[in-house]
Amino acid sequence: MRRVMSTATDPTVPARAHSRAELSRGTHDLLVIGGGILGTAVAWTAAQTGLRVAMVDAGDFAGATSSASSKLVHGGLRYLQTGNLKLVAENHRERRTLARDVAPHLVRPLSFLVPVYKDGPHGSAKLGAGVFLYSALSAFGDGMGKVIGPDNALELVPALRKEGLRRAAVYGDHQMNDSRVAVTTVRAAVEAGATVLNHAEVVALRKDAGGRVTGAELRDRLDGAEFGVNARVVLNATGPWVDHLRRMEDPAAEASIRLSKGVHLVLRQQQPWRAALTIPIDKYRVSFAIPWEEHLLLGTTDEAYEGDPGKVSPTEADIAQILDEAGSAVDPKQLRREDITYSFAGLRVLPGGAGATSEAKRETVVSEGRGGMLSVAGGKWTTYRHIGRTVMDKLAKAGVVALEQDMATPLRRVALPGSANPEAVAHRLLGEATAEDGVDPAVARHLASHYGNLAYDLAAMVRADRSLGERIHPDGPDIWAQAAYARDHEWAMTVDDVLRRRTTVTIRGLDTPEVRARVEDLLAAKPH
């Protein structure tokens, strides 16, 4: 197999030197520091209003918390216990909008089972009423929540533990690949006019004579180049690092957040599941076992974390806890340690305060510092577009500089790039393929469900260079065209950018030394 050295480029993803020059030119209306779900949502929304927007991140886009989620787009079944029906209904509306209008290629429906075991924390009558109400709040858009018997439950989840199984409640939600949603949203922000740069670290804040924050000094982590960005308004959306940046603004700033560590495991799946599991651990906590990327995703933990956010990682205790909790509903044969292909940890950003992290509100908090910098923390994937609009409303009116007079009203529903029915895309990819193309149905489905109609661009790359149609690893569906596309169209600068966040190679446990070396060669083929 020959080396993949495609050198195609995309004018929307310029060389880093060009991006740094654009970021340094003039004064931006808004500088967003942090390219996770919050920063990206705000940058996308702000660019749609006609503002001149810059966004930078010290690592990769969605390189930390935002790519370490449970991969769910959901209404929040647990909120029913707190009586917050309005929040559940709002979440359902946004979930349906994402799946139908904004990103049907990236957000897909999935049925969930809540098993009821003898001596379990919940009875079938309570759960049945709960999932019926849950589906009613979604206007029955995913069917009617109901209770089924053990035999029907086992048809949906063959690995469900049989001992003591009484019944199971069924409801509908959605799932996604969070990394793909993130990078596609970055692309949407750029198409709307934003200028972005990853792997660019803020080393200091710029201030005027009166102490107002007017921009930032940055260092490119890849080549060490230093540059600055001027902005009328600066938004701190750095997630777990939000207080670190606040103290650059004001060394005396008190802590505004606390962190909760969530760990997930990815395992090889021994047989297909037609539904996911929501596993009650006690009266309040649940764990998930979710079919995802032809694997099984387990998690999550929820414990206070006070260490360096950049060093958060799964521990043996975390792994043991997740496997033990999953074992209350999953056959132990599906939970072998040797089947773990990947594990990852992320940090939830919660409002400061006392009490258990599991009981803290998952809300978005916007604050203004002494120098006029606005900081935003919290939130979740399901409502990330809504959060972007909410933060923009506050940015328009708050702070020393009001942006409202310079903003047009953004459209309520703008589709992400590639928006299409993935089944239709896969059908066309297979229909247009010639015998020489040798398109595998599994690869076609994979491209369609991760790129939507942008998959046609990858197919064109393969027609131009047959080597790009080869699989990155024979045991996975990702092909070399995806790696080249990630480099040239999706700001992938490091091996992990490509293998962990632009493709599914790492989560499948397929990022071998040989694969990583070939990706390094591919990245080196494009000047930065």
3-class SS string, 111-156: EEEEEEECCCCCCHHHHHHHHHHHHHHCCCECECCEEECHHHHHHH
Mean pLDDT of the region 77-87? 82
Predicted local confidence at residue 411, as pLDDT: 85
Please give the structure tokens belonging to residue 304: 């206070």
Q: How many helices (H) and strands (E) does the chain have?
A: 15, 18
Q: What is the pTM of this model?
A: 0.93
Is the per-residue pLDDT at 1 higher than 50?
no
Separation in Å, CA 412 to CA 44, 45, 102: 12, 10, 10
Amino acid present at 407: M
How confident is the model over 312-337, as pLDDT tens digits? Answer: 999 999 999 999 999 999 999 999 99
Cα separation, 520 vs 507, in Å, equals 18
Tokens of 114: 């809540």
Task: State the greatest distance between any 2 C-alpha atoms of the chain, in Å, as a whole number.
Answer: 72
Comparing CA positions, the residue from 380, 361, 343 lying closest to residue 72 is 380
The answer to whether 219 touches 226, Cβ cutoff 8 Å, is yes
Picking from 80-84, 137-141, 443-447, which range would have the lowest pLDDT averaged per residue?
80-84
- What gap in Å lies between CA 20 and CA 464, rounded to an integer? 32
Angle (deg, nearest 10), helices 422-432 and 455-464: 20
Confidence of residue 3 (pLDDT cuts 50, 70, 90): very low
CATH 3.30.9.10 boundaries in the chain:
71-175+258-359
Give the pLDDT confidence score for residue 399 in this predicted structure: 57
Q: Which residues make beta-bridge pairs with 197? A: 56
Backbone conformation region of residue 38, classed left if phi is above 0, alpha if psi is from -120 to 50, else beta: alpha
pLDDT in tens, 273-294: 999 999 999 888 899 999 999 9
Cα distance between residue 103 and residue 105, in whole Å? 5
Rg, C-alpha atoms of the chain: 23
Domain(s) labelled CATH 3.50.50.60 in the chain stretch across 16-65+180-255+361-406
pLDDT digits (tens, 9 = 90+) for 340-369: 999 999 999 988 755 565 555 656 888 899
Asked if residues 230 and 28 have their Cβ atoms less than 8 Å apart, the reply is: yes
* Predicted pLDDT of residue 319: 97
pLDDT given at position 24? 98
The predicted pLDDT at position 525 comes to: 87
What homologous superfamily does CATH list for 71-175+258-359?
A: D-Amino Acid Oxidase, subunit A, domain 2 (3.30.9.10)
pLDDT on residue 400: 59
Q: Does domain 16-65+180-255+361-406 have CATH number 3.50.50.60?
A: yes
Q: What is the predicted pLDDT for the residue at 528?
A: 61
**What's the mean per-residue pLDDT of the chain?**
91
Which pair of tokens denotes residue 212?
């107002």
pLDDT band (50, 70, 90) for residue 2: very low
CB 236 within 8 A of CB 349: no
Asked whether the beta carbons of 170 and 112 are under 8 A apart, the reply is yes
pLDDT, tens only, 421-474:
999 999 999 988 765 666 789 999 999 999 999 999 999 999 999 999 999 999
- How far apart CA 528 and CA 525 sit, in angstroms, is 9
* pLDDT higher than 90, residue 67: yes
Q: What is the pLDDT of residues 171-192, one digit of tens each?
A: 999 999 999 999 999 999 999 9
Q: What is the pLDDT of residue 435?
A: 57
Dihedral sign (CA 31, 37, 42, 45): positive
Work out the number of other CB atoms within 10 angstroms of the CB of residue 3: 11
Partner residues linked to 27 by β-bridges = 230
